[in-house]
Amino acid sequence: MNLLLSSLSQGLLWAVMAIGVYLTFRILNVADLTAEGSFPLGAAICSSLIVNGMQPWLATLLTLFGGMAAGFISGFMHTKWNIPALLSGIITMTGLYSVNLRIMGQANLTLLGQGTLIRTVESWGLNKTNAVLLVGGSIVGLVILMLYLFFQTEMGLAIRSTGDNNAMSEANGIRTNAMKVIGYMISNGLIALSGALLAQNNGYADISMGIGTIVIGLASIIIGEVFFRHLTLAKRLLTIVLGSVIYRMLILVVLQLNVDPQDLRLFSAILLALALRLPAIQEKLPKRRPKDRTAKQKGGKLSWMQR
């Protein structure tokens, strides 16, 4: 039970990041590596503001704007400077390393003794796991609701159309470049928010905490897609949360087996590779044919077509 609750609490915090990765990877259909920089950016901004006396909820909210700024830079380079999406993400990610160091003033910033969202909820009489569940569940639910409502609007539908068919969308008068930039901004805003939540949960922000972020996000997305296909947007976002929880559970199981923590990223890479390969394997498996209506009925009687 403790393993399940721990996986659920951690998975909810990481799910916000996975949803952000989903917006660029599936909605916009681009590979954006800005996540590796915007995740620690959120942690750096939030931790620095809290250390300097700002209220945790306000510091957490402001990380959204920091992540959106990072997304704007990647989106601008991709759409206006015609730099490939992969390279624009790498450029932004590289630059954010120095930016994060400047914000924190050091490679690691502790939140020991500082007020955080988690500690605030703990003061209500909850233990840490339940506090994380409450904070993570509330924020994930709010994010999914806001995204669902947003993608029903004209702008949201334009972003989805741009990702589905850029040329057709442009021919129909949609400002596709602007829609891509907005998608980048929303995606990285959520990723930075997740970084802020994880920093408050862990009690520190570290310059290297973004390494492997994109792998974790993709693994959560693919795991959800393997089990559930052809879903509406709201249901797909929920499966991403489920995929994130399953991923964290697998990581905790591996740790319970006394695997060296330095091998966890190798395990994550292998897990993602297997998850990406699994749909292709499923396609090659023989599919069950629907029951023939001419099959014999129970008791040996012939069907109506055989009479």
Task: Report pLDDT for 249.
Answer: 87
Task: Report pLDDT for 289.
Answer: 56
Residue 305 located in a structural domain:
no
Residue 222 located in a structural domain:
no
DSSP classification of residue 81: S
Identity of residue 69 = A
Residue 134 located in a structural domain:
yes
Q: How far apart, in whole angstroms, are the C-alpha atoms of residue 159 and residue 178?
A: 9
Residue 191 located in a structural domain:
yes
Task: Report pLDDT for 287.
Answer: 62
Identity of residue 215 = V
Q: Say which residues have a Cβ less than 8 Å from residue 214's Cβ, sequence separation at least 6.
A: 21, 33, 35, 36
Q: Which pTM value belongs to this model?
A: 0.88
Q: Which residue has the tokens 């057709």?
A: 168
Contact in structure between 132 and 10 (CB atoms under 8 Å): yes
Q: How far apart, in whole angstroms, are the C-alpha atoms of residue 145 and residue 157?
A: 16
Task: Report pLDDT for 101.
Answer: 95
Residue 115 located in a structural domain:
yes
Q: Which two tokens stand for residue 208?
A: 């290297």
Task: Report pLDDT for 305.
Answer: 39
Task: Report pLDDT for 288.
Answer: 58
Residue 62 located in a structural domain:
yes
Task: Report pLDDT for 292.
Answer: 47
SS3 assignment, position 213? helix
Q: What is the per-residue pLDDT across 207-266, written as a single tens digit (0 to 9) for each?
A: 989 888 888 898 899 888 887 877 888 899 999 999 999 888 888 888 777 777 778 778
DSSP classification of residue 110: E
Task: Report pLDDT for 296.
Answer: 42
Task: Report pLDDT for 1.
Answer: 64
Give me the residues of the chain with pLDDT under 70, please.
1, 3, 282, 287-307
Number of domains in the chain: 1
Contact in structure between 42 and 196 (CB atoms under 8 Å): yes
What's the domain range around 111? 2-208
Residue 160 located in a structural domain:
yes
Residue 286 located in a structural domain:
no
